[in-house]
A = this chain, B = another copy of it.
Amino acid sequence: MSELARFGVSIPDDLLEKFDVLIRGKGYNNRSEAIRDLIRDRLVEEIWTEADQDVVGTATVVYNHEQSDLAQKLTEIQHQKHDLIISAVHVHLDYHNCLEVLIMRGHPDEVKRAGELLISTRGVKHGKITMTTTGKDLE
């Protein structure tokens, strides 16, 4: 773990007051933590546009399990991409609907591509790719 640095931010006090209200509303106890989160969020965006670093991402899909072949197709794609997919969690939303979250790790393009394949499968009602980090590059 790296050393802790410290730097000062000068800011109009009106703006600081509004920031304090905003972050309290989101559950932050502490300005430094809120600032670090803003910083890390931008860095994760950057990392996802570069090809030379592993990222972690999730693909979230909602589908009707009664749709013929759909569950098998999603499983097949996952096995094709098994080297990218770390783990999957499945929730039975109701009698018809399922949610599945696939956790993936790899090059940004490959992770996006695997997520797109799952989301574009016929019968998937909604899908989203979420971009996060291995944590390594973000002390």
Binding site for B on A (CB under 8 A): 1-16, 18-19, 22-23, 26-44, 46, 56, 58, 60, 62-64, 86-87, 89, 91, 93-94, 96-99, 101, 103, 105, 116-117, 119-122, 124-128, 130-139
Instruction: Indicate if the CB atoms of B22 and A46 lie closer than 8 Å.
Output: yes
- Residues from chain B with a CB closer than 8 A to the CB of A136 are 93-94, 97
Closest to A97 in B: B135
Instruction: Indicate if the CB atoms of A31 and B3 lie closer than 8 Å.
Output: no
Total copies of the chain: 4
Instruction: Indicate if the CB atoms of B15 and A6 lie closer than 8 Å.
Output: no
Asked if A4 meets B12 with Cβ closer than 8 Å, knowing A60-B132, A126-B41, the reply is yes
Closest to A114 in B: B27
A97 contact from B39, B42, B86, B134, Cβ within 8 A: B134
A16 contact from B7, B46, B86, Cβ within 8 A: B7
